[in-house]
Structure 1
Amino acid sequence: MTVRATPTVRLRRLGAELRRMREAAGCNVVQAARLLGLERTRISNMEAGRLGVTADRVRSLASVYQCGDRAYVDALAAMAEERVKGWWEEQRGRMPVAALELAELEHHALGIRAVQVTHFPGLLQTEEYAKAVFSVAVPEPSPVELRRILSFRMRRRDVLDREDDPPATTFLIHETALRLDFGGPTVMRAQLKHVLDASERPNVTVRVIPFAAGGFPSAGASMSLVAGPVPQLDTVQFDSPIDTVLVDAPAALGKYRKTLDRIEERSLDVAKSRDFLRDMSERT
């Protein structure tokens, strides 16, 4: 089987979970290789995502490591069976790896919970708003790069409209994002209307965090929790001006779930959030 030089985020995650399973069993790589009748390098490459793993192999590893969480093992086996390349792979080498990984996570997500302080969430951005945001990036993208980035951003939005089980999404948007002007009044009005329309979809929940709510946990950061088929396979994604960071350590996931819960408690409910957005749109 071919060793991959640049494994996808899904393969890396599958490998990381197999490593966690082994470590939870108190088994080192040498012991695992001996129990499974495999070379140590094969175990290492599987855990690094550089080597593909079959569903049967996943179940064999779970048996050897005495992992009794059936739902967890089934989810990992399903990941191992995935063979279809996603649309984002067409852009490999043309878009940053972090952007490809985010699109891949969103595609497989059962749910998404996101908090945004200074921008509207990417999945809810209009093309003109996104263009205004990317136009002030450092370094500023060339016209060709900007068109490519915008096309990719708009394609990502399709995940909310897919017919086959679109992810249940909750977007917590701070009032700062509603008032921070990107693109001028016409662009902002259209953006606010787009978010209002999106909030009417059964799989989209939008809640506003008003200035009146005061401070809240992680107020200086924007993040998304992308839900997997079982909680162990959730991923938290952070944006920074220069990169995207993915976090999947179990202890960290627990802290970020609690953080999102506390932020949601500070937010207006769905009906009041819609009224807030409608009022903002009329005033802009």
Structure 2
Amino acid sequence: MPPSKLPPTIRQQRLGAELRRLREHAQLSATQAARLHGATQSRISSIEGGGYPVSADRVRTLARLYGCSDHRLVDALANMTGGRTRGWWEEYREILPAEFLDVAELEHHALAMRVACAIHMPGLLQTPEHARAVFKDVVPPYDPPEVEHLLSFRIKRQAVIYGEQPTPLSTVIHEAALRIGFGGRKVARAQLEHLLDMSERDHIDVRVIPFGTGSYPSSGSGIIYFEAEVSQLDTVQLDTDTFSGYVGSQPQLVRYRAVLDRLEETALTSAKSRDLMHNIAQSM
């Protein structure tokens, strides 16, 4: 599929949505904005839908027409331009669903991430053996080649937490996820030992909500919070039995920041979380 015909990524859609928000805040219709910009109404609509590549200069021009004086926001929006990022994930374009690639692109650009898990280990902290066991447990089952593609994709995603400038990662995991034991005792113990090792890194914080706490503010939802250059451009991925997708409106961002804050307050400290993980691993 030619690049121009590819559906917009979540990141491109977000850029377009923010430009639309600026236009609406200026109380301009798409037709009025097009006239001021010397473009067609359909071009403005296509930009706002994320379907038309937009340059940094065009973003700055539109922001100026819309009277936006928030220079940090305009700079951050300009940095989101340039069309589809040609990252490593593009090699999976014809292999995996687009939503998998969107996660990798968001992780690549995030300045920091916050994750909450009730049942599964955070994908960025899974061992290959644990991840394979999880993929094999999906209903309906994946074919063996699909499992291997998903596995290699997940492991490549983990590059963001390694290297000279790794992305800071804060996670809250319920004790249930530590005890399910995907793949059997040997795999489960190796996964816990890996989690312990990773939690010792300066840029990774792992906290556990133990059984008996009596509270889990997110009601079991899997949450990944991607922090951007400015908080207005943060993005949240939600994963539940009934919904899997992205949210980014200001009320939603405020809500999920509060949810994650509550989860971190409910969880054990990092040190006590490591003690619990160590005890569970030793019991396997």
TM bracket (short chain): over 0.9
How much has 1:25 moved relative to structure 2? 1.4
After TM superposition, the structure 1 = structure 2 runs for residues 76-155 of structure 1, keeping only pairs within 5 Å, are 76-81=77-82, 84-155=85-156
2:170 matched to which residue of 1?
A: 170
Off by >6 Å, runs of 4+ in structure 1: none
Distance (Å, rounded) in 1 between the aligned partners of 2:282 and 2:25: 56
How much has 1:138 moved relative to structure 2? 1.3
How much has 1:239 moved relative to structure 2? 1.9
1:177 to 1:123, Cα distance in 2 relative to 1, 3 A: same
Distance (Å, rounded) in 2 between the aligned partners of 1:4 and 1:49: 12
Distance (Å, rounded) in 2 between the aligned partners of 1:246 and 1:166: 24
Distance (Å, rounded) in 2 between the aligned partners of 1:9 and 1:66: 26
Q: Is the 8 A contact 1:112 1:227 kept in 2?
A: yes
1:250 matched to which residue of 2?
A: 250
Q: Is the 8 A contact 2:53 2:83 kept in 1?
A: no
2:43 matched to which residue of 1?
A: 42
2:72 matched to which residue of 1?
A: 71
How much has 1:73 moved relative to structure 2? 0.4
Q: Is the 8 A contact 1:98 1:244 kept in 2?
A: no
Distance (Å, rounded) in 2 between the aligned partners of 1:24 and 1:268: 43
Q: Gaps spanning 5+ residues in structure 1: where?
A: none
Q: Is the 8 A contact 1:4 1:51 kept in 2?
A: no
Q: Is the 8 A contact 2:9 2:84 kept in 1?
A: no
1:3 to 1:95, Cα distance in 2 relative to 1, 3 A: closer
Q: Is the 8 A contact 1:88 1:100 kept in 2?
A: yes
Distance (Å, rounded) in 2 between the aligned partners of 1:25 and 1:181: 54
Q: Which amino acid aligns with 2:44?
A: I
Distance (Å, rounded) in 1 between the aligned partners of 2:90 and 2:6: 15
Q: Is the 8 A contact 1:98 1:243 kept in 2?
A: no
Q: Which amino acid aligns with 1:16?
A: A
1:277 matched to which residue of 2?
A: 277
1:195 matched to which residue of 2?
A: 195
How much has 1:243 moved relative to structure 2? 6.8
Q: Is the 8 A contact 1:92 1:100 kept in 2?
A: yes
1:232 matched to which residue of 2?
A: 232
Identity across matched positions, percent: 49
Q: Which amino acid aligns with 1:97?
A: A
Distance (Å, rounded) in 1 between the aligned partners of 2:86 and 2:32: 34
How much has 1:83 moved relative to structure 2? 6.6
How much has 1:8 moved relative to structure 2? 2.1
Q: Provide the secondary structure at the position in 1 that maps to 2:252.
A: helix
After TM superposition, the structure 1 = structure 2 runs for residues 7-22 of structure 1, keeping only pairs within 5 Å, are 7-22=8-23
Q: Which amino acid aligns with 1:214?
A: G
1:154-195: CA deviations, max 9, x gaps?
Answer: 1111111032x3211101000010111211110110000000
Distance (Å, rounded) in 2 between the aligned partners of 1:5 and 1:98: 13
1:263 aligns with 2:263: yes
TM value normalised by structure 2 = 0.95
How much has 1:82 moved relative to structure 2? 6.5
Q: How many residues align?
A: 282
Q: Provide the secondary structure at the position in 2 that maps to 1:212.
A: coil
Q: Provide the secondary structure at the position in 1 that maps to 2:218.
A: coil
2:55 matched to which residue of 1?
A: 54
Q: Provide the secondary structure at the position in 2 that maps to 1:261.
A: helix
Q: Provide the secondary structure at the position in 2 that maps to 1:213.
A: coil
Distance (Å, rounded) in 1 between the aligned partners of 2:237 and 2:50: 19
Q: Which amino acid aligns with 1:103?
A: A
2:210 matched to which residue of 1?
A: 210
How much has 1:244 moved relative to structure 2? 3.4
Q: Is the 8 A contact 2:15 2:80 kept in 1?
A: yes
How much has 1:9 moved relative to structure 2? 2.1
How much has 1:98 moved relative to structure 2? 0.9
TM value normalised by structure 1 = 0.95
Q: Is the 8 A contact 1:3 1:45 kept in 2?
A: no
1:21 to 1:213, Cα distance in 2 relative to 1, 3 A: same
Q: Provide the secondary structure at the position in 2 that maps to 1:259.
A: helix
Q: Gaps spanning 5+ residues in structure 2: where?
A: none
Distance (Å, rounded) in 1 between the aligned partners of 2:195 and 2:132: 17
Q: Is the 8 A contact 2:13 2:50 kept in 1?
A: yes
